[in-house]
Chains A and B, each alone.
Chain A
Amino acid sequence: MKKLLLLFLLIPMFVMAEQNIATLRSADIATEPDAPRMGVEENKDMKRKRNYPMQPPTIPHMITGYLIDLNSNKCLSCHSRRRVEESQAPMVSVTHYMDRDGNFLAEVSPRRYFCNQCHVSQVDAKPLVENDFIDIDAILDSKKNKN
């Protein structure tokens, strides 16, 4: 009985998988398709628009070979508070110097140390799935137009 119940639970999952995830692969399960070409990392040094105010800004330059580990953090060698004067890079926001209780620390908080957990560089690639995200301004505009 338990097994049957599990099966019923699993069926819709498989159906969903077929609709979404299988299309990403776009090849039979037993074949190994050619890997898509790797995208070129954008390196224009131009700030990009944020889609919502809390969005972690994307990285507008190449980060190939930038190591972040216990010993060193290549990002902070330009973006930390002490380094921005010389590098003229934007400083990491103050929230990165806060622990989770909101206390300010002298150094970047350990929970914010691994930059590319949130911040990523961008490649010039075709999106794998359609994105139907709508900017809040677009929603507000459409409401205004209705009235």
Chain B
Amino acid sequence: MLNKLKQLWHTIKSPSRYYSLGILVIAGFFAGIIFWGGFNTALEATNTEAFCISCHEMNDNLYQELKYTIHYSNRSGVRATCPDCHVPHNWTDKIARKMQASKEVWGKIFGTISTREKFLAKRRELAQHEWHRLKANDSLECRNCHDFQYMDFTRQSPRAEKAHSSGLESGEKTCIDCHKGIAHELPDMAEVQGWQ
């Protein structure tokens, strides 16, 4: 047994002594496909709503609230799922967000928001993370669907038109500045700008 392991170690240490370069290149190519494909499949599996709400923290609190909003139910039936708004679509940004999300695994293991009470107590902090993220990237996840270039002001109500054609157009404001709580209930908004 030990001998076999030693032999294997020798092969791994210097594979070109035992296999031809061609074989190694071809094997490496296929191993690469399998590894990369597997990695991406696993990554995409964590990027679905079904995955998010497989935890009771998400299913019982945030998902239930979403159901009453326009991003879940509306006249045309187009809807947003969790990752549409909470995970960047761009690959590098997505990987960065996924690495950040490893802290959420920690939270799950130690039950940081395992009860409704714990969740409500932490809601302001969690909401602030998302507000800061969307403020920093100019509401990129909103703009993945809602493109300012294609907004028809004549189809908007007068006050929406005024807000979008002034603050939003000049870049002074971004979507999240006014549309906090568009998809979830809000935490205590005391001292949040725009909510006094």
A positions within 8 Å CB-CB of B:
43-45, 61-62, 64-65, 67, 69-72, 74, 76-77, 80, 82-83, 86, 88-89
Contacts and interface: CB of A to CB of B under 8 A. Distances in A.
Given A71-B189, A72-B189, A62 B196 contact: no
Interface of B: 68-70, 157-159, 162, 181-182, 185-189, 194-196
**9 interchain residue pairs of minimum CB distance:** A72-B186, A72-B189, A45-B158, A82-B196, A71-B188, A43-B157, A77-B195, A71-B186, A45-B159
Contacts of B194: 77, 83, 86
Contacts of B157: 43-45, 61-62
B186 A83 contact: no
Interface centre among B185, B186, B194, B195 (most CB of A within 10 A): B195
Nearest to B120: A71
Interface centre among A45, A62, A71, A74 (most CB of B within 10 A): A71
B159 A65 contact: no
A29 B32 CA distance: 71
Given A45-B157, A61-B159, A65-B68, A83 B181 contact: no
**Taking chain A's interface residues, is the majority helix, strand, or loop, or is none over half, making it mixed?**
loop
Nearest to B157: A43
Contacts of A77: 194-195
Contacts of A65: 68-70, 182
A80 B189 CA distance: 14
B196 A80 contact: yes
Contacts of B181: 67, 72, 74
Contacts of B68: 65
Contact of A83 (B159, B185, B187, B196): B196
21 contacts: A44-B158, A45-B157, A45-B158, A62-B157, A64-B70, A65-B68, A65-B69, A65-B70, A65-B182, A67-B181, A69-B185, A71-B185, A71-B186, A71-B188, A71-B189, A72-B181, A72-B188, A77-B194, A82-B196, A86-B194, A89-B159
Contact of A67 (B70, B158, B185): B185
Contacts of B159: 45, 61, 89
Contacts of B187: 71
A86 B173 CA distance: 12
Contacts of B185: 67, 69, 71
Contacts of A67: 181, 185-186
A43 to B, nearest CB: 5
A126 to B, nearest CB: 23
A92 B90 CA distance: 44
A79 to B, nearest CB: 12
A96 B70 CA distance: 31
Nearest to B68: A65
A89 B194 CA distance: 13
A77 B192 CA distance: 10
Contacts of A45: 157-159
Contacts of B70: 64-65
Contacts of B186: 67, 71-72
Given A72-B195, A86-B194, 15 more contacts: A43-B157, A44-B157, A45-B158, A45-B159, A61-B157, A61-B159, A64-B70, A67-B181, A67-B185, A70-B188, A76-B195, A77-B194, A80-B196, A82-B196, A83-B194
